[in-house]
Chains A and B, each alone.
Chain A
C-alpha cells in the first residue's frame, strides 16, 4: 500500500446522498484506476485516468464520475448513492504501459455501505 492513500477507509451513508472517495499517490504515476470488488464478481473497473484531466470509463461506470485535477489525486464521486453501490472500492496506480506492461499497485481499499 506504500505510496497510495485512500480516504475514507470506511463510510456509511444513506441512499440518495453524494459521496466522494479520494485516492492520493506519492509515486508520480501517470495512470490511476478505481475498481469495485464484490463477492462473486471479483474486481471490476469503474473509471481510470491516463493523465491530469484525462479520464475514461471502465466496465461499470454508470452512477459514478471521476476527476483528476492533479497528478497525485483521483476522486471518485457517487452523485446519488444507491444500495447497489455498497462495495469495497480500490484505487490502483501504474507507472505506464511501456512494452505492453501495466503493473498496478493497489491502495488498502474503502469499504462503503449505502443504507
Chain B
C-alpha cells in the first residue's frame, strides 16, 4: 500500500494566488520529498525535508513537516501558470532509504 497520500486530488487557482497541497503518510520516515510532474514528462525533485526539520523554504516553495501527525504540506506562493503540474510527495522508510514510496499526487491548475 502507498505510504503517501496527497490532498486534494485536484486544485484550480488563479495566477497570483497561493496553492497548498497536503501529504499524509503511515510509517516513520527519514525524510520526505516533493516532486513535480509536468504533463507528459518525468518527475522532477523540488525539495526535501528531513524528519528533524519542521519547515523548509526554497524560492516560492515552503514545506512543513509534522512527524507527530505524519503529515506534510507544500505551499507555492504567488502561483504562475507555469506552476501547472502534478505534485507528488515521496517518503522513504526509517531504517531503509533505498526505496521511495510516492503518493497519488495533486493536480494543480493555475489559470492565467
Residues of chain A whose beta carbon lies under 8 Å from any beta carbon of chain B = 1, 4, 31, 35, 40-45, 48, 50, 56, 58-59, 90, 92, 97, 100-109
The 5 tightest CB contacts between A and B, nearest first, are A106-B42, A100-B30, A42-B104, A97-B97, A43-B102
Of B2, B41, B45, the contact of A103 (CB 8 Å cutoff): B45
In the complex the two chains form, is A106's CB within 8 Å of B100's CB?
no
Report how many residues on chain B are interfacial, defined by Cβ distance under 8 Å.
Answer: 24
On B, residues with C-beta under 8 Å from A are 2, 30-31, 33, 40-45, 48, 50, 88, 90, 92, 97-105
Chain A residue numbers with a CB within 8 Å of B100 are 45, 102, 104
Tell whether, in the assembled complex, residue B99 and residue A45 are in contact, meaning their CB atoms are under 8 Å apart: yes
Residues of A within 8 A of B88 (CB): 42-43
Q: Is the CB of A107 within 8 A of B42?
A: yes
B44 to chain A: which residues have CB within 8 Å? Answer: 106
**A102 lies within 8 A of B42 (CB):** no
Q: Which of B30, B40, B97 has the most CB of A within 10 A?
A: B97
